[in-house]
Structure formats: structure tokens, C-alpha cells
Structure 1
Amino acid sequence: MKVEIWSDVMCPFCYIGKRRFEQALAGFEHQNQVEIEWKSFQLNPDLKTNPDISINQYLAEIKGFTIDHAKQLNNHVTQMAANEGLTYNFDKAVVANSFNAHRLAHLAKKHGLGDAAEEALFKAYFTEGRNIDDNETLIEIGVAIGLPANEIKQALETQLYADEVKHDIAEAQYLGVRGVPFFVLNRKYAVSGAQETGIFSDTLSKAFADWQLENPKPMLDIIEGESCGPDGDCG
């Protein structure tokens, strides 16, 4: 069964939602039959990368808040993250457009490292205060998770994977996604937001039950003969 997750690297609830979903998946008895696919989404496609302003300043400007109110909101989210074992350092976070980070994530997906890329990018942004729109930073992140440096450089110096990012965003609009994180299970059920772990667990069970009905296990009429088993026994 496939679970598609639309997310943005600079979305604080996306990292929290990732952890809560992972907790639900860890307790799901059929987790080895669940395929996770990360999808790109941009909360602010027009955002200009600006390391000279703080996240609190950025939030205050786009939302019309005072900086003190922005700090209060970020402190609240920081505590939510801490409850999931995550460390948020909004005082260090760099205001950065996430488009190139999403392109790196698509390259990682090609190598079967999509989840590792999302985790590394979230940590770089929220915990380490790194600029996720800086090519050297993205190369370091990619190499650290096992991507070839030459492929990362080629992607970042060209427009590779730009169409894939745009396709994900267009697909989200088609599905009616209005915010992230957004989890789509078996293209039948959806969970919007960083819901509690129990919600993810219930939805996983419901979606998987439907998926099993749609994809029944083949019932083979087996003629037995001499063979070798995975434990090395032959007979």
C-alpha cells in the first residue's frame, strides 16, 4: 500500500507530522507492506532567500503580526516539536526558498533515499540553522545521506527535477490540498495536518484493510517436491 506525503521543508508541522506518522507506522503490524513516497509542496513559492532576517521577522511581516506574537507562536511550536523528540531552533533558522531543497529530495527519491533526504533537510532547517537554498549546503546534505556529489552538483547547476517539483505541486492542487503536511493513503483516505499518532494508526488500519481487499494474496494450488528453504535445509 502506498502512502504519499505532501510536505514543505520549511513547514514546522511537517516535521512533527513525520514523527507522529512514523510512530504510528512503527506500531503497525503490516508496516513492511507500506511504501512511503514524499511529494513536494511550497508554502510560499515567491519567497526570496534572505539570511539577514530572522524567522520571527519573516513571520511577522507576512502575517501582519508583531515580532513578539511571532515569537510566542514559534515557542509554542517548539514545545510541540520537543514533545516528539525534535529540537527546533527558530533563532538560528535561515529564511530560505525551498524549491532547490525539493529538487534535491527528488534526486534522493531516484536513489531510494527520499525519506533520508526529508529527514536531513528538516533537521538542517529547524535544528541546525542551515541555509537550505545554498548549493554547498545541499551538496553536503546530499553526500551525507549517500548521494553522489557529481549528481547533486549537476542537478543544482541545471534545472533537473524542477518539473518533478512543479508536477507534485500541481497534483496537490488537483487533489484539493490546501496545506501541509498532507497524507494520502491508498488514494482513498487522507489525513491533513500533524494529527495525533492515534489518528494515523486508525487511518493506516482502515486504508490497509481496503487495500488488501483490492489486492488479495494469490491462492496457489501447490504441487510439492524436493526443494531448499531459506534456512538452508534441503530435502
Structure 2
Amino acid sequence: MKVEIWSDVVCPFCYIGKRRFEEGLRQFGHPETVEVTWRSFQLTPDFVPEPGVSIHASLAAKKGVSLAEGRKMNDYMAGVAKEVGLHYDFERAVPANTFLAHQLIHLGAHHGRQDATKERLMAAYYTQGRDLNDVDTLVQLGSEVGLDAAEIRQALAAGTYAEAVRYDEYQAQQIGVQGVPFFVFEDKYAVSGAQPAELFTEVLNKVWEEAQPARPQLVAVAGAADGPACGPDGCD
């Protein structure tokens, strides 16, 4: 079963949605049949990082609210994250443009390490205060999940996967993605947002059942009564 997930590395609900989907997948009876592909989506593709500007100030500027209100929004999000076992550290988070990070995720996919790369980048951003704008940091994070450091550096410098990121974003526009995370199951069912784990399990079950071969439905001959037959308890 194919599941495609559009998300951004610096989208707080995307990390929460990842955890909820993973729990829904654990509750699904056939997790080995599910193939997950992470698709790129930048919430703020034209974002230019400013050294020394906190995530609270960056959010406040984006939303047009006070610094105190920006901090309040992040505090609320940290509380939601705790419900799924994530510990967001917004005091250390470094606002980032995620274009390079998404390219690294595509490189991870090329080597069968996409989910591990996605997870490492999200953890680095939300819980460790790592700077995803910095190439050296991205090289180190990619190396930690088994990617080759020299290949990472070369791919990011050359923009090897830049078009792949742009194509994911183009696809998102074509299917009408307005926000992330956005989940698409077998090109048929869409789920928008960090929904409860139970909903993901329900959709997985529905797609699985629909994929099973249809059982033939037998129709009794009109007017024909049951004739002599044998069953587990003997014969008529």
C-alpha cells in the first residue's frame, strides 16, 4: 500500500502527525505492506534566516502578533507535542529555510534511508536546537543515519535533488494541498492534518480491505428447496 506524506521539517504539527501516523500504523494489522514516501513542502519557501532571531520572534513576525503571543503559540504547540512523546525545545530552535533539508531527505530516499533522514532532521530541529541552514550540520546529521558525508556535501552544493523538491511542491499544488501534514493513500484517499492515530488505522484498514480480491457471491436458485446433504453433524 502506497502512502505519500507532504510535510515540512519545521512544521510542528508535521512531527506530531508523524508520530500519530506511526501509532496508527502500529495498530494496523498489515504494517509490512505499507510503503511510506515523504514528499517535500515548504511552508515559507522564501524565508531568509536572520542570525540571532528567536523562533518566537520569527513566528510573531510571520503571524503579525506580539512576541508574547508568538511565545504563547509555541508553548501551546510544545504541550501538544508532549502528548505523543515529543519534547519541543523552542528556546533553542533556530529558524530555518528548509530547501536544503528537503534535498537531503531525497538523498536519503535514494539510499533507502528516507524515513531515518526525515526523523533525524525533525529531532535535530525541534529537540536539539540544530541549525538546518548550515551545510556542515546537515552533513553531520545525514552521516548519523548512514549517508556518505562527501556525497551529501556534493549533492547539496550541486543541487542534485533541487528539482525533486520542486516537483513534490508542484504535485502538492496540483492536488490542492493547502496545509501540512497531508497524507495520500493509494492515490485515492486524503487525510489532512495531524489526525488521531485511530483515524489513520481506520483509513489503512479501508484501503487494505478494498484491495483484497472480491469473494464470489452465490445466488440460490429461485424456488429450489434445500435437498438432502451432509454436514459436520451427519447426513440428513
Structure 1-normalised TM-score? 0.89
Residue of structure 2 equivalent to 1:60 = 60
Establish whether residue 206 from structure 1 lines up as the match of residue 215 from structure 2: no
- Which runs of 5 or more residues in structure 1 are unaligned? 217-235
The alpha-carbon deviation at position 72 of structure 1 amounts to: 1.1
CA distance in 2, matches of 1:157, 1:41: 20
> What's the C-alpha RMSD, in Å, of the aligned pairs?
1.2
Residue of structure 2 equivalent to 1:71 = 71
**4+ residue stretches of structure 1 with deviation over 4 A?**
none
Task: Give the share of equivalent positions with the same residue, in percent.
Answer: 49
CA distance in 1, matches of 2:15, 2:210: 28
CA distance in 1, matches of 2:103, 2:191: 25
The 3-state SS of whatever aligns with 1:97 is coil
The 3-state SS of whatever aligns with 2:212 is helix
The alpha-carbon deviation at position 213 of structure 1 amounts to: 4.5
Q: Which amino acid aligns with 2:47?
A: L
The alpha-carbon deviation at position 212 of structure 1 amounts to: 3.0
Residue of structure 2 equivalent to 1:97 = 97
CA distance in 2, matches of 1:169, 1:200: 23
The 3-state SS of whatever aligns with 2:160 is coil
CA distance in 2, matches of 1:112, 1:210: 28
Does the 8 A contact of 1:51 with 1:131 survive in 2? no
Residues 97-133 of structure 1 show CA distances to partners (whole Å, capped at 9, x for unaligned) of 0000000000000001010011001001100011112
CA distance in 1, matches of 2:64, 2:49: 19
- Which runs of 5 or more residues in structure 2 are unaligned? 216-236
The 3-state SS of whatever aligns with 2:51 is coil
Matched positions, count = 215
Alignment of 1:28-177 (within 5 A): 28-177=28-177
Structure 2-normalised TM-score? 0.89
Report which of the two structures shows the higher radius of gyration computed on alpha carbons: 2
The alpha-carbon deviation at position 88 of structure 1 amounts to: 0.2
The alpha-carbon deviation at position 210 of structure 1 amounts to: 2.1
Does the 8 A contact of 1:186 with 1:211 survive in 2? no
